[in-house]
Structure 1
Amino acid sequence: MLFDLSLLGWQDDRYSELPAGTVPARVARVDRGAAEVIAADGTLQARYGSHVRRAAAADPIALPCVGDWVALRRLPEGRYELDGVLPRTSAFVRGGVSRTSRGGLSGDGQGQVLAANVDVVFVAEPSMHSTDFADLGRIERLVALAWESGGTPVVLITKTDLFEMGLDDLLADVAASAPGVDVHAVSSLAGDGVDLVRAHLAGSRTAVVLGPSGAGKSTLVNALAQDAVMETQQVRAADGRGRHTTVHRELIPLPGGGLIIDTPGIRRVGLYEMSDGVDLVFSDIEELAGQCRFSDCGHGEEPGCAVQEAVESGELPVRRLQSWHKLQREAAWMARRADARLQSEETRKWKIIHKEMRRSGRARP
């Protein structure tokens, strides 16, 4: 009995993208050099073929990722291999950014795809971290990346059953930090808000849920799946931090339709090749910037800065402007790193070409 791939989001007009002799499959889980995929024949294990390995060696972004549609080839001996990754409709990519001992940024300018072909990006943030409220800066960062991915961000403030007072104020602060984005209060254990989350997954839509350890991501996935499909653990009482319950990314079909990708907890996510993501998150600042005296105003100490005037009047929280400056600096830094890497790769390519020309005797003096 064949599985209906349309339930996983497959569209028949994509058959033209498949190499001859292959069939479509969707990646449910990845391992080193192999993947678990869902095909019409069911769930299968497949090793990476030579085309996939070469593409990944040239660009790590090309590595198969959970949510990818791939071309699956059955070998004569009965094994399966991934012959290629089909073009992605969306991809949530994080940059390879880390902090140095001196407080600066370091990284190789390369990125990692956390989820592919997603329609919705659920940004899960617990309402409380020990004695602290939700991290608005992290929400802004993840929402910026969500916009950049091509998916639609939705913010979920989780574990609201543990939040005793001021939930409406918290939700208002979150909404102000993510203009134009749906914000839902969710208590997976109590069942509150779960139906609102499920409504974003109508039909065969795919979502990924991202957030820190202890945000209740796996508990939410279990509530949506109406089954204990993911292991869960309690937050450590000593410091209020979550444990890394989920150690891999996994695509899970849900009863009644829709799919969700659970992910390990995220400590830090670097920006990667940003274009409009930061501007969309900070649309309030962008609107104020249109009123500044100078078109290239950096919103620092320039005269006639409408953004600084909004901060002084209390209209714009100083924390939000600081967050904007931080993400703008990081996005610019990552762009420079990416340009340097591309230039280095181009130089290396031409060195190889010239070397081969000299070997063949075609190079001119």
Structure 2
Amino acid sequence: MDAEVTLEVLGWDARWAEAWAAHHHDGDGRVPARVVVESQHIYRVHTGREDLLARITGRIRHKFASREAFPAVGDWVALKPAGAAEEMARIVDVLPRRGRFVRKAAGTAAEAQVVAANVDVVFLVSGLDHDFSVRRIERYLLAAMEGGASPVIVLNKADLPRDQDEVRHALGPVAGHVPVVMMSARSGVGVDELRAHIGPGRTAAFLGSSGVGKSTLINRLIGRDVQRTAEVRESDSKGRHTTTHRELVVLPGGGLLIDTPGMRELQLWDVSTGLDDAFEDIATLGVGCRFRDCTHDTEPDCTVKVAVAEGRLAAERLANYQRLRKEVLAKPVEEADIKAAAERRRDERVASKALKKLYSNRLKTQDSGR
């Protein structure tokens, strides 16, 4: 980030100022900052005046009782500047989030991971090659709506020979009123339409499988190559994960982008309220069911099943709703405290190793400069 970055450029506004005043006071030595990069619990943050490295001290680590509570890219945090005997600033608090994109953490049964925080718009990127899947887009929509962000479906690689009218028709029942942008990150077609969804102070997140062109798209929006890209295999459209960490990037002309590592499989977490938003057609039809808590499965007098029988609702649409609903209700809760404690211990070991490596590299740099 350049020297012209301010808190306002980073998304700070009157609502954030009010939230800050409710939790912190002038004179306590703390300053607001936004998390730009997170890597193994070593954070790069920006205060609107300078870019700093920061960490969480062991004394306050217990405040973040779960993985979901730890700072994530896009979070606004309270920062204690480094003292004379300290190597890095300290993150002592996280401001209440306006929204977040959460997924089930890899390797755990009962832990959530925040992929991006305080996101205003989520670009759900899918390729118009072998990667295209209506069901996957449906899952992304569900999680994005639960996170409080405005979703935009981005269909990249529009330069490939594919019937776009057929694609739009297939997406119709899923997308609803959600905007759909057909574009080509490689040629630049559709970039301006995408940029219209990002304005000064607004934060956008790009989500999608590896190989769909998120990094190329970000390079297009920024106007230069800042993200590494790689070709995908023609046989199955699979790509390598060229983005290995989440990073907040300031867009020339206003707006911010969060790039995320590709997710081949999105495992839903807490999406209980987003389910009705993503399946608004089924929720509307369900108002006429005899039972208020109808699952549209075996209950009598179900208006949703009538709609399927009459051809007004696709049977596949209802089947996917029921499958996702069962997945949400089956979220494991047993041994959650044990797993959370184990995760915290693992995170502490990772952070300790990262700090030692950072200090070692600094000492090598100092020695080489003598």
Q: 2:53 aligns with which of 30, 45, 60?
A: 45
Counterpart amino acid of residue 7 in structure 1: V
Corresponding residue SS for 1:123: strand
C-alpha deviation, 1:229, in angstroms: 0.9
Corresponding residue SS for 1:153: strand
C-alpha deviation, 1:211, in angstroms: 0.6
Q: Name stretches of at least 5 consecutive residues in structure 1 with no aligned partner.
A: 99-106, 346-365
Q: Is this contact kept in 2: 1:110–1:338, CA < 8 A? A: no
* Residue correspondence of structure 1 range 1-365 to structure 2 within 5 A: 3-11=5-13, 12-16=17-21, 17-18=23-24, 20-50=28-58, 52-56=60-64, 58-77=65-84, 79=87, 80-96=89-105, 107-129=108-130, 134-162=132-160, 164-334=161-331, 337-338=332-333, 341=336
Rounded to whole Å, the distance in 2 between the matches of 1:342 and 1:309 is 44
Q: Is this contact kept in 1: 2:35–2:77, CA < 8 A? A: yes
Structure 2 counterpart of 1:353? none
Counterpart amino acid of residue 24 in structure 2: L
Runs (4+) of structure 1 exceeding 6 A deviation are 342-345
Counterpart amino acid of residue 145 in structure 1: A
* Shift in alpha-carbon separation, 1:44–1:175, aligned structure 2, 3 A: farther
CA deviations on 1:36-81 (whole Å, 9 max, x unpaired) are: 111233221112224552223x211111100011111122226322
Rounded to whole Å, the distance in 1 between the matches of 2:245 and 2:106 is 20
* Shift in alpha-carbon separation, 1:275–1:298, aligned structure 2, 3 A: closer
Q: Is this contact kept in 1: 2:75–2:117, CA < 8 A? A: yes
User: TM-score by structure 2 length?
Assistant: 0.83
C-alpha deviation, 1:300, in angstroms: 2.4
CA deviations on 1:78-99 (whole Å, 9 max, x unpaired) are: 632212212111111112478x
Q: Is this contact kept in 2: 1:235–1:241, CA < 8 A? A: yes
Rounded to whole Å, the distance in 1 between the matches of 2:53 and 2:338 is 38
Counterpart amino acid of residue 92 in structure 1: F
* Shift in alpha-carbon separation, 1:260–1:342, aligned structure 2, 3 A: same
CA deviations on 1:291-348 (whole Å, 9 max, x unpaired) are: 33444433224443322232233322222111101110011112xx348747999xxx
Q: Is this contact kept in 2: 1:18–1:24, CA < 8 A? A: no
Q: Name stretches of at least 5 consecutive residues in structure 2 with no aligned partner.
A: 341-370
Rounded to whole Å, the distance in 2 between the matches of 1:108 and 1:18 is 35
Rounded to whole Å, the distance in 2 between the matches of 1:67 and 1:321 is 35
User: TM-score by structure 1 length?
Assistant: 0.84
Rounded to whole Å, the distance in 1 between the matches of 2:66 and 2:11 is 26
Rounded to whole Å, the distance in 2 between the matches of 1:196 and 1:237 is 28
Structure 1 vs Structure 2: percent identity of aligned residues? 40
Aligned residue pair count: 330
Q: Is this contact kept in 2: 1:120–1:207, CA < 8 A? A: yes
Worse overlay, 196-205 or 13-22:
13-22
Corresponding residue SS for 2:104: strand
Q: Is this contact kept in 1: 2:6–2:49, CA < 8 A? A: no
Counterpart amino acid of residue 129 in structure 1: H
Counterpart amino acid of residue 8 in structure 2: S
Rounded to whole Å, the distance in 1 between the matches of 2:70 and 2:51 is 20
Structure with the bigger percentage of strand:
1
CA deviations on 1:189-208 (whole Å, 9 max, x unpaired) are: 22222112111111110011
Worse overlay, 186-195 or 76-85:
76-85
C-alpha deviation, 1:240, in angstroms: 2.1
C-alpha deviation, 1:114, in angstroms: 0.3
Q: Is this contact kept in 2: 1:48–1:82, CA < 8 A? A: yes
Corresponding residue SS for 1:227: coil
Corresponding residue SS for 1:71: strand
CA deviations on 1:89-128 (whole Å, 9 max, x unpaired) are: 1111112478xxxxxxxx5322000000111111111122
Counterpart amino acid of residue 13 in structure 1: E
